[in-house]
């Protein structure tokens, strides 16, 4: 088990961010967990340690939000997201993780810049369904590499203007299936070992706390504030991923 104090100084806030994001509140902050933990361990190891935490957080979030999901949206996005997981497993190691992080960070910041300069109109049509499938593949891939799937999929889902609880529930179902599908390829790639699992076990008790706090807020926060917080999370995530790539 990892015992260094510096690791846990990064791991504790990372796990709490995951719990908050899986509840739907502060969803955009969830992708910060791996970059934060990667300050102390390599990115693939950080992803492996956080995988059990993600899955427990998924289960806790689903117990609160499952009935609120948009079923048609899940049916549209999930098969493409799983295809992205397969692509990530087959191409793992071909692209350095910093390159993937930099691309995701740059796209995230570009998306936010476009939405800020050209905010969507209330009567704007929803984005085409084919774009949702393409971005779900990208989301599955970046989720496999660095648990950073929320920025790409947000490009499609945010313009749909869902209610906060529907948005949170739909993303909870999508990423629960995505994270569950990572176990076999992670094991195949040698990322699942007893050292990482025992470290995950120490961090797991913090997960319900983050989910509980988030669920309390997601049902009360106004829609406009919810999306402002989500965009703030994307801004911080995109900046951190781009900084890691440049560094």
| pLDDT per residue rounded down to tens, the chain (247 residues) | 777 788 888 888 888 878 777 765 555 566 677 777 877 887 778 888 888 988 888 888 788 778 888 999 999 999 999 999 999 888 877 777 777 777 777 877 877 787 677 666 666 778 899 999 999 999 998 888 877 787 788 888 888 888 878 888 898 899 889 999 999 998 888 888 888 889 889 888 888 887 777 767 766 767 677 777 777 777 877 787 788 778 7
Read off the tokens for 221: 């926060």
- By C-alpha distance, which of 212, 185, 7, 177 is closest to 78? 177
Q: What 3-state class would DSSP assign to 56? A: helix
- Reported pTM: 0.75
Rounded to an integer, what distance in angstroms lies between the CA atom of residue 18 and that of residue 213?
A: 12
Tell me how many domains the chain contains.
1
Q: How open is the CA angle 238-240-241, to the nearest 5 degrees?
A: 65
Comparing CA positions, the residue from 102, 98, 178, 190 lying closest to residue 144 is 178
CB atoms within 10 A of CB 22: 34
CB 24 within 8 A of CB 168: yes
Q: Which domain holds residue 71?
A: 5-246
Q: What is the largest CA-CA distance in the chain?
A: 54
Helices (H), the chain: 5-22, 33-37, 43-65, 71-90, 97-117, 129-146, 150-157, 164-180, 183-188, 194-203, 207-218, 223-246
């Amino acid at each position: 088990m990892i015992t260094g104090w510096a690791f846990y100084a990064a791991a504790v806030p990372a796990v709490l961010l995951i719990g908050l994001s899986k509840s739907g509140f502060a969803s955009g902050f969830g992708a910060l967990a791996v970059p934060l933990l990667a300050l102390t361990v390599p990115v693939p190891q950080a992803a492996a340690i956080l995988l059990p935490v993600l899955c427990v957080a998924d289960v806790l979030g689903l117990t609160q939000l499952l009935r609120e999901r948009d079923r048609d949206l899940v049916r549209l996005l999930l098969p493409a997201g799983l295809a992205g997981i397969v692509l990530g497993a087959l191409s793992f190691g071909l692209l350095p993780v910093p390159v993937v992080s930099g691309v995701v960070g740059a796209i995230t910041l570009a998306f936010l810049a476009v939405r800020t300069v050209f905010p969507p109109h209330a009567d704007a049509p929803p984005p085409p369904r084919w774009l949702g499938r393409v971005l779900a593949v990208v989301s599955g891939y970046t989720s496999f590499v660095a648990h950073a799937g929320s920025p790409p999929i947000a490009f499609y889902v945010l313009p749909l203007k869902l209610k906060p609880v529907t948005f949170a529930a739909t993303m909870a179902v999508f990423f629960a299936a995505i994270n569950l599908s990572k176990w076999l390829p992670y094991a195949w790639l040698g990322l699942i070992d007893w050292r990482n699992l025992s470290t995950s076990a120490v961090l797991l008790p913090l997960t319900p706390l983050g989910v509980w706090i988030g669920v309390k807020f997601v049902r009360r926060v106004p829609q406009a504030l919810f999306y402002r917080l989500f965009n703030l999370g994307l801004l911080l995530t995109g900046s951190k991923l781009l900084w890691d790539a440049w560094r």
